Structure 1
Amino acid sequence: MSMTIAKPSVRVRSAANAGKRLRWNSIGSAIWPWQLLTLIVFGLLWEYVAANRIIDPLFIGTPSRILSFFFTELFVTGSLASDVLWTLAGTGIAFGLGSLAGIATGLLFVSFPATEKFCDPFFAALNALPRIALAPLFLLWFGLGIGSKIALGFSLTYFIVLSSTVAGARSVDRDFLTLARTLGASRTKIFLRITLVSAVPTLFSGLRLGLIYSLLGVIAGEIIAAQHGLGQQLSYLAGTFQIDGVFAVLLLLALLGSGLTYGMSALESRLIRWR
């Protein structure tokens, strides 16, 4: 009897999820032309304001020159392409190390609450520190190379992933835990098959946010002092009053951030389709 009841409920949930995805897809396909039109209108208005010097182009640039600079430096000369690789390398390493350390620490705190209670005041104080204030110290320790940028990105990613790991692991339904213990499941099986699985959705929210913050940390470190990277290029262009180049780099950073966020969301939807 229980099996005959369970099967329709699974089908109902699957149909509901499929219907929800279909509605979201239809909404997305209907709205993107309007988003594109809004972007085009905004660009034309910006071009008009700059060309007629309603606002001095020295302060806002012009979209046509920004796009020209973007295309030339990225695809023709390749100067921005090499900086993109440096920035993405630092971001990837900072995100990977920060995520692994944050997940490991979070699982340790969930498994041994006394450890979390002992470390909580120290971690709270460290997390309250403005990361940008640590940049000169990281530069002193790790130099002008990529190491100081990785350290700054790591410091941002670590606490975000740590918080999401602890929150996700503690959001487990108590009924599941009680049922598992009643059925004789060991503590290890409960942790691996219930606690970790239940923490995945919340954990991915932290990972998505941590990825963006690792990029922000690397860029901030490059702006302060660096030999390569988009942040260093941004600082140089601003210092030489090349406003079109500044906006071109900002456009590239926006595209990179959006791409990273989309990639993480796609990975999340693929790994947790059971939701």
Structure 2
Amino acid sequence: MSQLIRPPLWIGQVIFLFALGALWQALANYGFINPILIGDPVGILLFLYNGLFTNYTLVPHLLWTLWATVSAFLIGSILGIGVGSLFVAYPGLEKFLEPIFAGLNALPRVALAPLFLLWFGLGISSKIALGASLTFFIVLSGTVAGARSVDSDHLTLSRMLGATSTQIFTQITLPGAVPTLFSSLRLGLIYALLGVVAGELLAARAGLGQALSLFAGSFQTNGVFAVLFLLALIGSCILAAMNRVEARFLRWK
């Protein structure tokens, strides 16, 4: 007997989401739920379509959030990889600074958002600072953990063959840390988005978080769900893009 051909997984996922949306719409149409409080899928999709392609009300907020997220991710990642590399190269420095960094990492950065607003203002700088602070510690931990997960036999063999400390660090330690590093980068990018949106929710001139707060305050439930759907879509695209970049960098494995 020939083996049955299974449909792609994404088809089942689309069918499930469509069925869930149809059930939601039916409950709203027949009065089982209040669309004013819960919204309805058709209204949400229309709001999202109009905001992106007709009246463009969501486009400036989307661009603002994306720019802040990318900037926060790049700043936090560069600093995290740089400091993590220093910790790996100079263990004494890590031992000296570890209590300080542990205390800073334990601080809830979202609770510190008012301080960032005070220091950097209501503009995009405070959102970038908040997102970068979340990304930094995640990438820092991933860099250190990845570098220390390198096989010790490879390091010993390299020293026996006469490799210098710089050659070992750049050609063995860093490439061996790439898988763990990419896991932290993927998570750091998501947290950069979360930090930016959290800052926008508190106070901002623009951004999806600011739009979310505005729609919630004016009881535009469909607008709230439209922004949430857009944020979920951005998060999914971020993860998919990072997975592709990771696969490209790890072809050697």
**Structure 2 length as normaliser, TM-score?**
0.97
Match of 2:18 among 27, 40, 43: 40
Distance 1:31 1:108 in 2: 43
Residues 1:268 and 2:224 aligned together: no
Unaligned runs of 5+ residues in structure 2 are none
- Provide the aligned C-alpha RMSD in A: 1.0
Corresponding pairs, count: 249
Runs (4+) off by over 6 Å: none
Shift of 1:265: 0.8
**What residue number does 2:211 align with?**
233
Shift of 1:153: 0.1
The one-letter code of the counterpart of 2:171 is R
What is the aligned partner in structure 2 of residue 119 from structure 1?
Answer: 97
Deviation at 1:33, TM superposition (A): 1.4
Secondary structure (helix, strand or coil) at the match of 1:92 reads helix
Percentage identity across paired residues of the two chains: 59
Aligned-pair CA distance for 1:269: 0.4
**Are 1:31 and 2:31 an aligned pair?**
no
The code of the aligned residue for 2:24 comes to: W
Q: Secondary structure at the match of 2:8?
A: helix
State the distance in 1 between where 2:158 and 2:95 align: 27
- Residue 30 of structure 1: how far off its partner (Å): 2.4
**Quick one: which amino acid aligns to residue 25 of structure 2?**
E
80, 105, 108: which is aligned to 1:102? 80
State how far apart, in whole Å, the 1-side matches of 2:75 and 2:14 are: 37
Deviation, 1:34, is 1.2
Partner of 1:176 in structure 2? 154
Flag the structure with higher helix content. Answer: 1
User: Equivalent residue for 1:90?
Assistant: 68
State the match for 2:28 in structure 1.
Answer: 50
CA distance in 1, matches of 2:181, 2:12: 33
* Residue 182 (structure 2) pairs with residue 204 (structure 1): yes
**Residue 218 (str. 1) matches residue 180 (str. 2):** no
- Whether 2:134 is the aligned partner of 1:156: answer yes
Match of 1:142 among 116, 120, 127: 120
Note the alpha carbon deviations across 1:85-111, whole angstroms, 9 max, x for none. Answer: 100000011000000000000000011
Amino acid at match of 2:245: L
Distance in 2 (CA, whole Å) between partners of 1:53 and 1:120 is 57
Q: CA deviation at 1:134?
A: 0.7
Q: CA deviation at 1:78?
A: 1.0
Once residues 115 and 268 of structure 1 are traced to their aligned partners in structure 2, the CA distance between those partners, rounded to angstroms, is 30
Q: Which whole-Å CA distance do the structure 2 matches of 1:132 and 1:176 have between them?
A: 42
Q: So what's the TM-score if we normalise by structure 1?
A: 0.89
